[in-house]
Structures are given as C-alpha cells and as structure tokens.
C-alpha cells in the first residue's frame, strides 16, 4: 500500500457515539447560482438538515459558511423541534475539500498573517462545537472529505462513509501541518497509522477510515436515502436514541466492508513510523522489503522537511493532550507560527494550487539542515490573540 497522496483541491483546511460527511441521496443538487446560499438550512421532521452548497468547489469552506453552520447550531440547540442534526454536501463529488488556502497565501504575502487568525478561530470553534453539541450530529462523507472537511466530519457523534469516500489530511503537501483537530484523531489511530497518514497525506478509502477511527459506519451511496429515513425512524423508536443506529443499520449499512489496506500494512508502517525522527522513519522505510514502503520513502523525500518535522512532533504530543480543545489550541499556535515564520507554506500553496508546477523549493531543502529545536520552537509559539478567550 503506497502513500496514495491526494491531488489537492484545497486544504485549509468525546461523544458517546460517532460517523462522517457527504451528500445524501434524495437531497437536491443545487446548481451554483451566485445568489444561492452556500449553506442550506432546513428542518425536516425532527431533523435539522445542513447541506454545504458549493458543489463546483467540492463544498470548500469559507468563513461565511463556517459562520452559517455555527449560527444554525446555535438556533437549534434549544429548539425542541430539532432532535438530531444531519450534515452533508451538495453534488456528487464530496462533502468538503477543505478551505481555500489561496486566501491564506495572499494575506501572508500582503504582510498581514495575523488576519488569518480570524478564520482559524471561527473554524476551530466550530470543530469544538460539533464535538460538544448536546444533540447528536450525524455527518455523511460521500466522496472527497479532506482538511477542513475532516474538521466537520471527524468530531461528529455519528460519522458515516460510503464506498466513494476519500478522506485525507494532506497539509504536508503544501508545507503545512494537519489542523482542525486532525492531530487529535491521528494521535488516536491504531499503532503508527496516525504518523503515516499525517506525514504522507495519504488518502483513506471507507475501510481505511473505519479502521483508523475517522468513521463509524459504512453505507452504500445508493442506500443513503434509506439510511436517513431509518435514522429519522429511530428517533421515534422505543429508545429514541439515534446514536445506537439500530434503525439506521437496517437502512443500508454495509456489514462486510473490505479489509483495510492500512490494517494490512501495519507491520511496515508500525516499524518505520516508530522511529524517533523523520530521517529515522525514511531510513527504516528504505530498509524494508515492501515496495509500498519504498514508495512512501519517496513521498516523504519530496515534502517539506519543516512541515514533516513539526507534524511528527504535533501528532505525538497530541496523544498526551487531555481533549480536543487542547489539540485545537496546539494546532492554532502551529498554524500561526507557519503563517508568521515559515516560507514553505506560501511556497507549497504556490506550487500545488497557484502555479501548479508541483515543484516546490523548500527552505531548508534537506532534513539534515532542519534546526534540532525546530519542533520545540514551533510548539512553543504563542499567538497574540488566543484561540480560547
């Protein structure tokens, strides 16, 4: 199993029960008229239904969408008519491809990296709100769910994927680091799967997402409408508990997903990614006989040494953090450290998403030239405006 790094579109990108994002069959596929809302909000029976509505951009997030989602959750928290919240994405390409990082690059180039803080504070507050919401939130991940999309899906109560799911935290591809609570999820994946996913940006299919702890339930895309109907019916059952998914399980859940490629690759992933540093990981990969291990080493050698070094430290430290909010605070500091101090972020966005030459020039270009205290310096960075007031 090679690192299967996703083509970047954009990447800005403890409940009692959980599931993931996507678009629900039967939901209209709104064409992108400029005047149409980018988040569709309605109440259908007992369900508050939110749909990200930028299908041409694979529902990439902007701050207006984040605020609209937060406002709906605020309105429904004390509305007795809403017993459960359902989040999905318009179109058939995915739930959410992340956020548009071009704006981040422009702010940094303009000499105003502090302006990026407003977006990230709003986004991370929404991520925490989803995790802590007093009513069950169900997210359906049908198709692309990356970066900021993981922040919406990964912390929900019920996280559903389909056979078309493509989940990833691809931030290292642009000289950046996983955020939106991604390090919290990566730090809790089995074995060293979290380090592997975080450093390589590899794409998970449905079975991988279930195995890695990014999703809870597989539902075939053709059965999503039936799944949602069964979910609504479960609210009226004897227990009235949508977290149990008892009714929804009969509405299209696949009981026999194929074996995860991540699970099959655990022997070489756990061996290599347990090394103390990125150079050690690459050396162990090179010593392995598996072709996929060699391909993964090739991938790591193409990525930003700074991003890899910081990401490895962030995921490992996240394992010892007490909760999601602590992980988000750590990520917030790292995001602003990159924005203020690291040319690799601007260069990575240029190479992947602006000029699209796929030929970034990293500074430093070699792992051997990364300062020994780089990760400690990054993790110690204190933003001027804190995440949590």
Contact 312, 371 (CB under 8 A): no
Our count of domains for the chain comes to: 1
pLDDT at 22: 32
Residue 179 annotated among the catalytic residues of the structure: yes
- Sign of the CA dihedral with 201 first, then 205, 206, and 208 last: negative
Catalytic residue among 179, 205, 208, 216: 179
Catalytic residue among 98, 99, 154, 251: 99
Tens-place pLDDT, residues 1-25: 665 555 554 433 323 333 333 333 2
Q: Residue 381: is it exposed, middle or buried by C-beta count within 10 angstroms (0-12/13-18/19+)?
A: middle
pLDDT at 115: 83
Tens-place pLDDT, residues 287-343: 999 999 999 999 999 999 999 999 999 999 999 999 999 999 999 999 999 999 999
* Domain harbouring 17, CATH code: 3.90.226.10
User: What does residue 357 show for φ and ψ, rounded to 5 degrees?
Assistant: -85, -10
pLDDT at 214: 98
Catalytic residue among 88, 171, 205, 344: 171
Residue 171 annotated among the catalytic residues of the structure: yes
Task: Encode the chain (389 residues) as per-residue pLDDT tens digits.
Answer: 665 555 554 433 323 333 333 333 223 333 444 468 999 999 998 999 999 999 999 999 999 999 999 999 999 999 999 999 999 999 999 999 998 788 889 989 998 888 889 999 999 999 999 999 999 999 999 999 999 999 999 999 999 999 999 999 999 999 999 999 999 999 999 999 999 999 999 999 999 999 999 999 999 999 998 888 887 777 765 545 555 544 444 444 555 568 899 999 999 999 999 999 999 999 999 999 999 999 999 999 999 999 999 999 999 999 999 999 999 999 999 999 999 999 999 999 999 999 999 999 999 999 999 999 999 999 999 999 999 97
pLDDT at 101: 86
The Cα–Cα gap between 362 and 349 comes to 12
Bridge partners, 85 (sequence order): 48, 137
The Cα–Cα gap between 94 and 52 comes to 10
Find all residues with CB under 8 Å of 166, minimum gap 6, and list them: 6, 94, 143, 144, 145, 146, 203, 204, 205
Which three-class secondary structure state does DSSP give residue 380? coil
pLDDT at 5: 55
Containing domain of residue 113, as a range? Answer: 1-389
Residue 252 annotated among the catalytic residues of the structure: no
Q: For residues 13-30, b (16+ Cβ closer than 10 Å) or e, as one string?
A: beeebbbbbbbbbebeeb
Which three-class secondary structure state does DSSP give residue 323? coil
Residue 148 annotated among the catalytic residues of the structure: yes
Contact 290, 264 (CB under 8 A): no
Contact 89, 52 (CB under 8 A): yes
Catalytic residue among 13, 89, 148, 348: 148
Per-position DSSP letters for 210-260, written without gaps between them = HHHTS-SEEB-GGGHHHHHHHHHHHHTSSS--GGG-HHHHTTTB-S-PPPP
User: What does residue 82 show for φ and ψ, rounded to 5 degrees?
Assistant: -105, 120
- Continuous segment of H or E residues that includes residue 184: helix 182-186
User: What does residue 20 show for φ and ψ, rounded to 5 degrees?
Assistant: -130, 180
């Amino acid at each position: 199993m090679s690192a299967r790094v996703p083509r970047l579109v954009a990447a800005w990108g403890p409940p009692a029960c959980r599931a993931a994002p996507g678009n629900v069959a039967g939901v209209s596929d709104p064409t992108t008229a400029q005047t149409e809302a980018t988040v569709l909000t309605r109440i259908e029976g007992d369900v508050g239904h939110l749909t990200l509505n930028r299908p041409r951009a694979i529902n990439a997030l902007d701050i207006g969408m984040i605020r609209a989602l937060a406002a709906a959750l605020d309105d429904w928290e004390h509305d007795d008519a809403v017993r459960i919240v359902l989040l999905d994405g318009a179109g058939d390409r995915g739930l959410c491809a992340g956020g548009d990082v071009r704006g981040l690059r422009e702010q940094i180039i303009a000499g105003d990296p502090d302006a990026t803080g407003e977006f990230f504070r709003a986004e991370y507050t929404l991520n925490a709100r989803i995790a802590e919401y007093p009513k069950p939130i169900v997210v359906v991940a049908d198709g692309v769910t990356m970066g900021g999309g993981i922040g919406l899906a990964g912390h929900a109560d019920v996280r559903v994927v389909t056979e078309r799911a493509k989940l990833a935290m691809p931030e290292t591809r642009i000289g950046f680091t996983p955020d939106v609570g991604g390090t919290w999820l990566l730090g809790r994946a089995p074995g060293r799967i979290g380090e592997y996913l975080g450093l390589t940006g590899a794409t998970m299919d449905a079975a991988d997402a279930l195995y890695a702890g990014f999703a809870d339930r597989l539902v075939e895309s053709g059965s999503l409408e039936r799944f949602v109907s069964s979910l609504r019916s479960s609210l009226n059952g004897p227990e009235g508990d949508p977290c149990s998914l008892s009714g929804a399980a009969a509405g299209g859940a696949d009981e026999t997903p194929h074996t995860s490629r991540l699970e099959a690759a655990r022997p070489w992933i756990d061996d290599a990614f347990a090394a103390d540093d990125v150079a050690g990981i690459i050396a162990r990969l090179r010593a392995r006989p598996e072709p996929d291990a060699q391909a993964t080493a090739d991938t790591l050698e193409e990525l930003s040494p700074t991003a890899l070094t910081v990401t490895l430290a962030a995921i490992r430290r996240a394992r010892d953090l007490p909760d999601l909010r602590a992980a988000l605070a750590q990520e917030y500091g790292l995001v602003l450290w990159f924005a203020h101090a690291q040319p690799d972020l601007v260069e990575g966005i240029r190479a992947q998403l602006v000029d699209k030459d796929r030929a970034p020039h990293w500074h430093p270009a070699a792992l051997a030239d990364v300062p020994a205290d780089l990760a400690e310096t990054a993790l110690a960075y204190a933003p001027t405006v804190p995440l949590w007031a």
